[in-house]
Copies of this chain bind each other. A is one copy, B any other.
């Protein structure tokens, strides 16, 4: 028998048009718990299986002691609908349940960003109004608003989107998040990550941690350990003007407040506050002695280590200063000629 790719046990929420969302109380990648996988794999043809009766008992037995924390899920005591969602393989996303499982896997740190097939994600997810009550279709908001006002209350619609806020579903360990409305489910926040109020992290993107995020991490971008993303700093999702090359930021980098980059940075790089580097920006390169070596497009520097980018306050030119010698730099600059 092949391993399952991944699975989760949780509650599905539905209305008459179908599934609204899925929350997972327990999830894992294949290989983690063979006994449980064997039970789940009895329903190989179906991605979503209601948990009840004998199936629930078997899951409980396979989970052993850890079933206690899941008692409300396995004992059918509530009005919610418990389900097992199982993925045999990492194929394109074809249903809402798979989409939620994959987004949970990243945020639970079971998968890194960019390591799963997320094709079809936006196609299958419905746009919902996420309210202070529960998610609902946008067309159902007026009636719900009327009901709440008749009772002297207010309906609050917090977002109208396909992807909900991360922390409504799970809170990763060892993180701080100043404003949870800006972190989408599917964001990867490593241990020791602090996302201040101005920080934003998209799904399938994140920070390895520890680190400080006060800027915006676009879909597909991963920021390395001990890096600091200043207030309102911007990281483009792909090499600007470069199509599908994903931007990444290495370890121990500092992108200053209101700065930004459309190229990747290696380790120990700094972009000074307020400076935006796009791929097509011409940049003057200086060696460790401060001598000007030449000029390149920023895209030719993408991914290198130990770069300091500033805009010279007197000349207005953008400079890349390094701790490398002239010889090393000459070789690097001519690599693209």
- A: residues with CB less than 8 A from B are 11, 13, 23, 25, 69, 72-73, 77-80, 127, 129, 132-135, 138, 141-143, 145-147, 149-162, 165, 167-171, 173, 175-182, 184, 197-198, 200, 216, 230-232, 234, 236, 240, 256-260, 262, 272-276, 278, 281-284, 295, 298, 311-318
CB distance B176 to A167 under 8 Å? no
CB distance B167 to A154 under 8 Å? no
For A23, list chain B residues within 8 Å (CB): 145, 149
CB distance A262 to B273 under 8 Å? yes
CB distance B180 to A159 under 8 Å? yes
For A161, list chain B residues within 8 Å (CB): 176-178
Q: Which of B127, B180, B256, B283 contacts A313 (CB 8 A)?
A: B283
Q: Which of B78, B240, B272 contacts A278 (CB 8 A)?
A: B272
Q: Which of B11, B142, B258 contacts A276 (CB 8 A)?
A: B258
Q: Which of B157, B200, B283, B312 contacts A171 (CB 8 A)?
A: B157
Q: Which of B79, B275, B311 contacts A151 (CB 8 A)?
A: B79
Q: How far is the CB of A228 from chain B (nearest CB, A)?
A: 13
CB distance A132 to B145 under 8 Å? no
Taking CB as reference atom, which chain B residue is nearest A130?
B154
CB distance A179 to B180 under 8 Å? no
Q: How far is the CB of A259 from chain B (nearest CB, A)?
A: 8
For A162, list chain B residues within 8 Å (CB): 176
Chain multiplicity (copies): 3
For A171, list chain B residues within 8 Å (CB): 129, 138, 141, 157, 160
Pairs A–B under 8 Å by Cβ, sample size 26: A73-B146, A78-B151, A79-B152, A129-B167, A129-B171, A134-B153, A141-B170, A141-B171, A145-B169, A156-B158, A158-B179, A159-B179, A178-B182, A198-B200, A216-B232, A216-B257, A231-B234, A234-B258, A257-B276, A272-B278, A274-B274, A274-B276, A282-B313, A298-B313, A311-B316, A314-B318
- CA of A313 to CA of B319 in the docked complex: distance in angstroms? 8
Q: Which of B80, B127, B149, B158 contacts A150 (CB 8 A)?
A: B80
CB distance A177 to B150 under 8 Å? no
Question: A127-B176, A278-B273, A312-B282 known; A168 and B155 CB under 8 Å?
Answer: yes
Q: How far is the CB of A331 from chain B (nearest CB, A)?
A: 22
For A13, list chain B residues within 8 Å (CB): 149
Question: A147-B72, A272-B278, A278-B272 known; A133 and B153 CB under 8 Å?
Answer: yes
- CA of A185 to CA of B318 in the docked complex: distance in angstroms? 40
For A11, list chain B residues within 8 Å (CB): 146, 149-150
CB distance A77 to B158 under 8 Å? no
Question: A234-B257, A282-B313 known; A154 and B168 CB under 8 Å?
Answer: yes
CB distance B134 to A152 under 8 Å? yes
Output the residue of A135, A147, A295, A318 with the most chain B CB within 10 A.
Answer: A318
CB distance A173 to B138 under 8 Å? yes
Q: How far is the CB of A33 from chain B (nearest CB, A)?
A: 18
- CA of A256 to CA of B281 in the docked complex: distance in angstroms? 14
CB distance A160 to B152 under 8 Å? no
CB distance A25 to B146 under 8 Å? yes
Known: A72-B146, A141-B171. 4 other contacts (CB 8 A): A13-B149, A69-B143, A127-B176, A298-B313
